[in-house]
Amino acid sequence: MSGASAVMRSVLALLLTLSGVVAAEAAEPDAARLLFTGDIMLSRQVAREIDARRGLSPWHGLRDVLRRADVVVGNFEGTVGASEACDAPKELCFAVEPQLVPLLKDAGFTALGIANNHSGDLGAAGRKATREALQAAGLGAIGSAESPAFVKVRGRTLALISLNLVPGRDGQMDRIPSWQAAQKLRLARALADWVIVSVHWGKELADWVVPEQEAAATWLVAQGADLITGAHPHVVQPPACVDGKPVFYSLGNHVFDQKYPQTKRGLIADCEIKDDRLICSGLPTRTPDGSAYPAWTAEQDQPQATLAQCSVKPSAPLRVAGQAISPWIRDGEIASDRLVLEGRAEASRWRTPPRALLSAEAGRLVADQPPLLFTLERHASPIDGEDGPRPYVYEVTPHGLVAKWRGSALAWPLLDAVLIADAAGQSYLCALHRGDSFIMLDTATPSATRTQVYAWNGFGFTGVSDDTLAARCAGRFDPRRLSE
């Protein structure tokens, strides 16, 4: 092939890709567009290139598309702070100068995932500085501790969860399966139309999906994930439809300075909510040699065929006493640590004060009475000051929530709790407790856990001795059976 022909072919491929981008932008007015990118690293050679280009944004070639989307989320691979604070070789410590953070907002990003193996490169102080720098720039900062976060997009509620399965310098990581991850997904599933999980996993530089990723994806979908986007391998891995839900196992690098040919290719998960369906495809990018600035490309097959069967309906809203309950958020805003709940019915609407919510579900706690709302909320104890989950029970009325039980302690310190129902439809409280007691608190030393079933007595909870319910309760928190 002559040089002129090669150039013509490259130009044609680029035009085809850009036409696809334009077509994707021509969404109907009521449709919402969501974009998810791979790894973003703004230190090392990336920072040097930005400086050499006099501050030109790495997204100057993609910005028009990103800015037109309703939600744009990426994986922020690094920690905001000075490289001098690194306690490891500087090339392995992704310290990001604070002045580079606003480039993300200017590019069109809505939020950044901060759950990965480099989020702890500068320790606890670096984690705090990263959250504060992103928030100061008007960006959501979503780590494991901030998950789930909720965002309202054109009247629909999305839950965003970030998990890290790769240990970093400070050893912090999430585990799948675990009751902690299940709790986050349970709250997200109860309050959102769609649940989106970004997860750091897999094997670096492997362009194939390892069995651990497949097992984790299956578990996440069973727990309520509607869309999964993956990072960490730094190369694109083939997406898949797992039990009817789109899974982008690895989106590869988005803005990064690695030089291997495969690490120069990336994929943006391009998802649209239209006619109450979430449908995804992919927009491929390629970073030129000697640069970390991505550009659109047609060199990589888009995964539409693989994901064509993954059309995801919204989940049913949480309803209690005829009221649909969801987070109250202004369109485009992100809420995480303290949520305002809103109840809606044909003739009524109410909102609650902000609360640190861990879970919410409805149950018929008394067989012949209407369902009540059961929540777990994080509060500090007025007795010993310990911050932890507290159980609440509310009656739901057209005017709001009426507390029937205000976070008083159960038999032992609580970790998590769910409702389980017997054959007659009556709900019982299935609690996961710590192994210590209120008399001898031991929060510093890992200890065994225990489960206990409680029945609602109208004024509180009473322990229940029932072998069948006890076995079911224990199974709900058994990591091998958490998908039940």
Q: If you average pLDDT over residues 33-55, what whole number do you get?
A: 97
Could you read off the pLDDT of 130-170 as tens digits, one per residue?
999 999 999 999 999 999 999 999 999 999 999 999 998 88
Confidence of residue 6 (pLDDT cuts 50, 70, 90): very low
What is the average pLDDT value for the chain, to the nearest integer?
89
Higher pLDDT, 393 or 438: 393
Structural domains in the chain, CATH included, are 3-307 (3.60.21), 318-481 (no CATH)
Question: Residue 148: is the preceding peptide bond cis (ω within 30°)?
Answer: yes
CA-nearest of 249, 248, 265, 156 to 210 is 249
Residue for token digits 């067989």?
Answer: 367
Could you read off the pLDDT of 164-203 as tens digits, one per residue?
999 988 889 999 999 999 999 999 999 999 999 999 999 9
Stated length of the chain: 484
Question: What is the rounded CA–CA span in Å between residue 149 and residue 156?
Answer: 14
Predicted TM-score (pTM) of the model is: 0.91
Q: Alpha helix (H) ranges present in 304-393?
A: 304-307
Give percent of the chain above pLDDT 90.
76
Question: What is the rounded CA–CA span in Å between residue 301 and residue 146?
Answer: 35
Q: If you average pLDDT over residues 109-124, what whole number do you get?
A: 95
Q: Is 436's pLDDT higher than 90?
A: no
Could you read off the pLDDT of 349-402 as tens digits, one per residue?
999 999 999 999 999 999 888 999 999 999 887 766 778 899 999 999 999 999
Contact 239, 251 (CB under 8 A): no
Q: If you average pLDDT over residues 443-465, what whole number do you get?
A: 87
**Collapsing DSSP states into helix, strand and coil, what is residue 107?**
helix
Contact 336, 146 (CB under 8 A): yes
In this predicted structure, what is the pLDDT of residue 188? 98
481 burial class (0-12, 13-18, 19+ CB within 10 angstroms)? exposed
In this predicted structure, what is the pLDDT of residue 138? 96
Residue for token digits 């609360």?
Answer: 355
Could you read off the pLDDT of 208-225 as tens digits, one per residue?
999 999 999 999 999 999
